[in-house]
Structure formats: C-alpha cells, structure tokens
Amino acid sequence: MTVSTKSPAKKTQASAADAAANNPLSFEQAVQELETIVQQMELGNLALDESFNAYKRGAELLLSCQTSLSNVEQQVRILTDASKLAPFNVDNASS
C-alpha cells in the first residue's frame, strides 16, 4: 500500500499549475490572482515552501501581465500609426 506524502495544499497547487498551463488567464484574472498572492504573503502565515511557490507563481503572473500590456500597447501603436486611431481632441468632440 502506497501512502501519498503530498498535502492537500500541494495537490491543489499542482492542479492549479496544470490548469493554468492548459487555460491561460485573462489579464484581469491574472491581476486578481496576483493580488490574492500578495495578500497571502503579506499576512506572513505561509510556510517557507508555500512562500517560495507563491513568489514563483506571482513572478509568472507578473510576466504574463507585462506581456499582455506590451501586446496591447503595440496594437495601439500600430492602429495610431496607420491613422485608424487619432488622438482625442476636446475641441473636435463637441462639433
């Protein structure tokens, strides 16, 4: 008989990591998860391994958010350069 040495928290973390790899989060979901991780870490109730894993996940989420923002910024630049999107001018909006 084999006994699992993984705690329920570790199983949940592994399942979450697998799910994240298969289903990428939206920018808003990533920010929300990142905020939750920061709150957990600020409380200081995590064990060392949990803190490290939370830090790693936070770094992954931060990179994902930065990439998303960079991609959107590039798309806005492309639209602006193509004259499909012009800067907002208050004087022109009222006419």
**Is the pTM of the predicted complex or chain greater than 0.85?**
no
Rounded Cα distance, 41 and 22, in Å: 26
Locate 19 and state its tokens: 């799910």
Locate 81 and state its tokens: 């350069």
Which stretches does DSSP call E strand in the chain?
none
Q: For 39-70, how does the pLDDT look when each residue is reduced to its tens digit (9 = 90+)?
A: 999 999 999 999 999 999 999 999 999 999 99
Structure-token match 């923002």, residue found: 69
CATH of 27-82, one of 1.50.10, 1.10.287, 2.40.128, 1.10.3470: 1.10.287
Q: What's the confidence (pLDDT) of residue 52?
A: 96
Domain limits, the chain: 27-82
Locate 41 and state its tokens: 């870490």
At 46 the three-state DSSP class reads coil
Rounded Cα distance, 39 and 35, in Å: 6
